[in-house]
Structures are given as C-alpha cells and as structure tokens.
Structure 1
Amino acid sequence: MCYLARRMKRLILLWLLLGYYPLLAQPAVPAGRTVVTYLNSKLLARNPGGENPRRRVSVYLPPGYDANPQRRYPVLYYLHGYAWSDSLVFNQDGLPALLDQAIAAGQIRPVIVVTPNEKTLFGGSMYTNSATNGPWADFTAQELIRFIDGQFRTLAQPGSRGLAGHSMGGNGTLRLSMRYPGTWAAAYALSPAFVGPHPEYMASAAGLQAALRAPNQGALAGNFSGQITVALARAFSAEPQARPLGAALPSSLGPDSLTRRDAVLPRWVAATPTYLLPAHAAGLRQLRALAFDWGGQDEFRHIPPTCRSFSILLSTFGIRHSAQEYEGTHGSGIMGRNGRIYQHLLPFFNQHLDFAPQQ
C-alpha cells in the first residue's frame, strides 16, 4: 500500500510539472505601477447629502512611465459600477494585471487608466449632478480631468482621452459623453444600466417599500433593492429638504399598496440616456467612435431590452456606433484574457485614441 501511494504521488507530481511547465516557462510581463491618490473636491464640498468630498482615485501608470520622464500618455477613464469602487476594480477585479498583459500582447499601447471612487452613502453617484449628492457629473468630466492632467504626464487633449465603464459606470459613460461634448475622443459602455425606463428598477415594489419605510440610512443596511432605489432617487429626483433620504421617491405608501407619484417618475425617465439623446445627439456625433455591449443573460432584466432600444434610437439619429449582445451575464464576460475589456474594449481605444501629441 505504501509503495502504491508513493508511486501515485510521483505520478501526480510529474503530471503537475508537465501541466504547468509551459506557464512557468513564459517570460515575465512588464508591470505597470498603481498610484492611489486623493482629490479634495471643491465641487462636492458642502453638498447637503453628506457625501464625502475627499475622493480616492486609483491610477494605473503603464510600464516605462518612470523610466521615460519625457513621454506623455493618453488616458482612459474607467467608471466603476454600483456598490463597487476604484479599489475593488483594481484589486479584486485585477485590472492592473490585465492591463499589463494587454500592453505586452499589443492589445493596446501604453496608456494611463484612471478610476475615481464614486461609491456614495447609498452605493453610487450615478455620475450625475444632484441637488442632494452634489455635482458628480461635473466632478467626473471637469474637476477630475484637471486633477489628473496636473498630477501625471498625460496627453492633455480630447483626442487622447477615452471614457468607459461597467453597469452604473456604463450608464455614466453614455450620459457624460452626451452632456460634455469635446471632452473625450471615444466611449465604450459595458453592460450599461438604466439606459431607458423599465419597471424593474423604476417600479420595484421591494425596493420602494424598503425605502419608504426606512427612518434613516442605517435601516437599509444590507438591503440591495432598497439602497439602489434611494441612490437612484437621490440622483434623479433629489430634494435636499425631504427627510430622511433627501429625495422624492416615485411612489408613496398607502394602507394596502404603493401609489405611483406621477410628478416623480418623469424625472427618472428624463434622466435616462434614451430620453437625453434627442437633445444631446450632437455630443455623441463629436465622438470618433461609440460602442456598448451587454450579456443576453444579464440578471438585471432591464439591460438587454433597453440597450437594444437605445441602439435603434442611435441609428434613427444617424449616430454611428457598435452595439453587441453576447452570451453572458452581468459580469461573466468582463474581466480576464477572454473578457470584453481585453478582447474588445482595449483594442477599441488603441484604434481611436491619439498616442502622440497633436500639432
């Protein structure tokens, strides 16, 4: 028995060595450097919603950044999703290592990547200006860019800036591209949420009931549907004097059921990229390229149909774009060597950004 056990161990060891040898033999990939910095926002200071104006920003500096002090780089601004953060994108999702691999493989030339932390008291800023939360859209599209251009060796020109994001960040990518024309050369939204009106998030009975019954923020701890409902309300139907949440909700709570508030729902509808497009089509036309994609099996049921409708509307307005539905869920096809970022998003920006100063 001991002889057989020892033989089995040797065979397993040999199999492991043979299986992993090709990986061990691969040359090391040059590594970039991550910098965590903080922006003390003047725009977000004294917001009535109690949001912290000191915002963490994670920055990826590509291999060679320190060794070539005269070289400047384009910048990709990557916006995180709801309930996520810059730290989770860089550390849990592993974005820096993926960027190292992509640059080494020629998927994209060396680029600076910036992710601001826009996780708020209720999970996310929605990258929009709010009378309660503060002007997060202006913070992202103006103050953050000035800060990054002042702190790092960027190519400080619109042709060298890209904008991308996932989920809530994909929504922000579409909306900011419209509202701040001439700021970025190209935009790519991954699984963008809240692109158009849909009952899944606008009429969520569970979320609305939890929000309406909450006496304070703490009462919603751990309640995803309740927190995201409040986050949307504080972004799209903000009312700083409304207690306790600083927002008007699209329903009121009756004795037996929810009652729609027709004065609030139109504000949520008007904030979607679908309804912003007719007035802001010119902003998207200034982009060199626009793309977005989504998983056909997304757990958030509103995303596939609203993305399809948005693509049809873009075509109606004659706006060139790429829209693709793929086999996947909300996050299954994003990261990794086979994911959308590596295979599609980074080559997209490699094609459409300027990697040298424009005369």
Structure 2
Amino acid sequence: MRHQVGWGLGLLLLALAGVAAVDAQARVVVETLHSTALRGNAIGDSPDRAITVYLPPSYDTQVARRYPVVYLLHGATSEPGEWFDGSYQGMDLGAALDRMAGPGEFIVVMPAANNRYGGSFYVNSARFGRWEDFVAKELVAFVDARFRTQPERRARGLAGQSMGGFGALYLAGRHPDTFAYVYAVSPCCLGFVGDLAQAGARWRQPLGGWLRAMAMAFAAPGNTAPEAEPPLPFTATPDGGVERHVAVEATWKRYMPLYRLERDPAGYRRLCGIAFDAGLQDQITSVTAGARAFSQALDRHRIAHAFATYDGTHTDHTRERFETAMLPFFAHAFASAAAPKACAR
C-alpha cells in the first residue's frame, strides 16, 4: 500500500431514487504528509508520514458530493497495509467498505504511526514527537484541504485497534470539537488493571515490545535520551515483590484514558457516539479488564456508550469486529448525524 492503487470492484449498481445506475470504482491512495509536529523528535523519526486513504466508489463520479471521514489508527508494530492484505483472517478492508457503497459511504484515513520501538501511542511525547497534534490537528487539516470531506465534527470519527484503540479513545476525549464518534477494537493500556496492575505479570518480565514502546511514549518531559531505558511505574524487586514509583505512575495516568475520564468526563460527554469491544480470551488481560473498567466509569458518569465482549483473543476476531461492528457503527452514526442535539455543537 505504499503507492497509489486502483481498487477493482467490478460493476456496482447504485439504485438511488430517480438516478440511473452507474459504474463506479473505489480507490486507495497513499499521500505523504510532512509534519511540523513530528519534526525534530528525539528518536530521529522522519516527519514525512505515509497516509493511506480509502475513497469510496462514488467519489470520482459524484463530484459535488462531500463525505464523512473515519480516522483509523493501527496497532503496535503494525501498518495500514495489514488491513488490506489478508493479515487478519483474510480481511480486505477495501472490499468490506465497497460492500457499504451507497448513501452511507465515507472516507477512511489511515496514518502510518509505527517507529523502531513499535509504535507512537498517538500522544504528544517527549521522545516520539507530538503525535496527538499530528493526528488531531495536522492530519485533519491536511485531509480536509485535499479531499472532498464534510469539514465538521459530526462528520468525523476515530477508530483503532489495540494501540490504535487506545489512541482513538484518548484523542476522542481530548478533541470533542474535532471528532464526534469513536470506536475502539480491543483497546490496550486504558488503565492499571489486568496484567498492568501493580501486581500484574508484566512488571516481572523483561521490558520489551509494546510495553517498552508505551514507556518510551509516556516518558516525562526532559527524559528524552532515545536509547535510555524509560522509567516504569512498577518494577520487580529481588524478593519477588513489585516496587511502586509514584511519580512515574502519575505521569502515565495523565495519558491513560481511564484516569482521564475520571478526572474530567466533559470531553467524553460531548461525543455523539462511543463504542468499544474486547475478547474474553484476550492474552493481554489488561485489554478486557481495561475496557470493562472504562465502561463502568462511563456508566458512573452517565455517559451513553456501547461495550461488547465476545469469545476471542486479541486479534483472532479482527475481521469480524471490523465488518460487523465497527464499520456499521460509523455508517449508522453518519446517516443519523443530524439527529443528536449534541452533534450540532
């Protein structure tokens, strides 16, 4: 998916009232966004980021039409191309979106957020650069300027899987003036629960993978040495216990959506739709426990949302959740976007 690609659909009949059927073809294009927010980051990542954009079948034929946009964030060590190449149970995201052709079509924008540590976590980071500003400000402005979008909050949604689910819930609560809807698939790292609890197994294991990337992303300002081991909120002790580091824990809580919601639910209350899911057998136990805790916190603050669990692990139902839950959520949300009063603000 690194070059412009034509997406073969065959013949598509659009049976809109009073309009003759036309042949139409969706497109997937890859643009490059030079980011000011990522320029000069401590790990030397390029500020030139590939942006994969799905344009629906009617985009090139209905030239006066404007479209809602879903910003879809990938997980750690992943990339947008994996949603198209069958990596997840044979899923072809373009084909799944093509099947939704018609009045409910929308654009999907997928930024490449990987780095040599496995991922950015989509936050403004002392080490990785200002990824929150990149997505919520630069990327939205870039897409609105380059494509025929509906440039308003009620026509924008955030979605993501795993690390991307974390990013979607984090950014949605921080930027309700920009995004109206959010759906997180198997969102990781929402709080210190499950294997991320103080007594959890993660802190007794060697630091690596997504946990190291998260620790790097959450490192406090001033702690920018790219090769230095990032501080952790909990560390194992020689006697088999776990030591708590309160200052680091507090820094991580500034990012984790569960605590952001508890501190200030106003941003989440302004959203027009919130949904997320988790597999009951997810091997990253903080995913299911965190999603359940986040749902309970939303309930305590009387914020409407949808939370679903299913029999499955971290990625073995990705195709099903995308095709039967996440994509229909946005199609329905955009079709009824004029109805909720909150969406008019």
The 1-side partners of 2:316 and 2:125 are apart by 32
Alignment partner for residue 260 of structure 2, among 264, 267, 276?
276
Which stretch has the larger CA shift, 120-129 or 192-201? 192-201
The 2-side partners of 1:43 and 1:252 are apart by 32
Alignment partner for residue 123 of structure 2, among 124, 128, 148?
128
Aligned partner of 1:348 in structure 2 is 329
| Displacement of 1:164 | 0.8
8 Å Cα contact 1:208-1:249 kept in structure 2: no
- Superposed, 1:55-74 pairs within 5 Å as 55-74=49-68
Q: CA 1:253 to 1:198, structure 2 compared with 1: closer, same or farther past 3 Å? A: closer
Runs of at least 5 residues in structure 1 that lack an aligned partner in the other structure: 1-25, 212-225
8 Å Cα contact 1:38-1:56 kept in structure 2: yes
8 Å Cα contact 1:86-1:117 kept in structure 2: yes
Alignment partner for residue 231 of structure 2, among 203, 227, 248?
248
Q: CA 1:68 to 1:318, structure 2 compared with 1: closer, same or farther past 3 Å? A: same
Q: CA 1:321 to 1:205, structure 2 compared with 1: closer, same or farther past 3 Å? A: closer
Aligned partner of 1:260 in structure 2 is 243
| Displacement of 1:27 | 7.5
- Superposed, 1:156-195 pairs within 5 Å as 156-195=151-190
Alignment partner for residue 273 of structure 2, among 270, 278, 289?
289
The answer to whether 1:89 aligns with 2:87 is: no
Q: Which amino acid aligns with 1:314?
A: L
| Displacement of 1:135 | 0.8
8 Å Cα contact 2:203-2:235 kept in structure 1: no
The answer to whether 1:98 aligns with 2:81 is: no
TM-score by length of 2: 0.82
Aligned partner of 1:11 in structure 2 is none
Report Cα offsets for 1:116-142 as digits up to 9, x if no partner. Answer: 001122111111111111110111111
- Aligned residues with identical type, % of pairs: 39
Runs of at least 5 residues in structure 2 that lack an aligned partner in the other structure: 1-8, 13-23, 339-343
Which stretch has the larger CA shift, 91-100 or 145-154? 91-100
**3-state DSSP of counterpart to 2:158:** strand
8 Å Cα contact 1:179-1:283 kept in structure 2: yes
8 Å Cα contact 1:170-1:188 kept in structure 2: yes
Which stretch has the larger CA shift, 168-177 or 90-99? 90-99
The answer to whether 1:331 aligns with 2:318 is: no
TM-score by length of 1: 0.79
Which stretch has the larger CA shift, 340-349 or 249-258? 249-258
**3-state DSSP of counterpart to 2:99:** helix
Q: Which amino acid aligns with 2:131?
A: W
**3-state DSSP of counterpart to 1:353:** helix
The 1-side partners of 2:170 and 2:110 are apart by 17
8 Å Cα contact 1:129-1:136 kept in structure 2: yes
Q: Which amino acid aligns with 2:92?
A: G
The answer to whether 1:233 aligns with 2:215 is: yes
The 2-side partners of 1:289 and 1:356 are apart by 10
| Displacement of 1:303 | 1.3
Q: CA 1:198 to 1:164, structure 2 compared with 1: closer, same or farther past 3 Å? A: same
| Displacement of 1:159 | 1.1
- Superposed, 1:110-149 pairs within 5 Å as 110-149=105-144
| Displacement of 1:41 | 0.3
Report Cα offsets for 1:202-226 as digits up to 9, x if no partner. Answer: 6677777644xxxxxxxxxxxxxx1
8 Å Cα contact 1:202-1:250 kept in structure 2: no
Aligned partner of 1:315 in structure 2 is 299
| Structure whose CA Rg is larger | 1
8 Å Cα contact 2:218-2:255 kept in structure 1: yes
Aligned partner of 2:18 in structure 1 is none
Report Cα offsets for 1:269-315 as digits up to 9, x if no partner. Answer: 34211111023311111111111111111121111122111111100
Q: Which amino acid aligns with 2:257?
A: P
The 2-side partners of 1:207 and 1:140 are apart by 30
Q: Which amino acid aligns with 2:54?
A: Y
Report Cα offsets for 1:12-33 as digits up to 9, x if no partner. Answer: xxxxxxxxxxxxxx98555410
Q: CA 1:241 to 1:163, structure 2 compared with 1: closer, same or farther past 3 Å? A: closer
The number of equivalent residue pairs is: 313
Report Cα offsets for 1:22-58 as digits up to 9, x if no partner. Answer: xxxx985554100011101011001122222111110
| Displacement of 1:86 | 1.6
Aligned partner of 2:145 in structure 1 is 150
Report Cα offsets for 1:156-210 as digits up to 9, x if no partner. Answer: 1111111111111111111111111211121111111111113624667777764
The 2-side partners of 1:162 and 1:240 are apart by 33
Would you tell me which structure has more helix in proportion to its own residues? 1
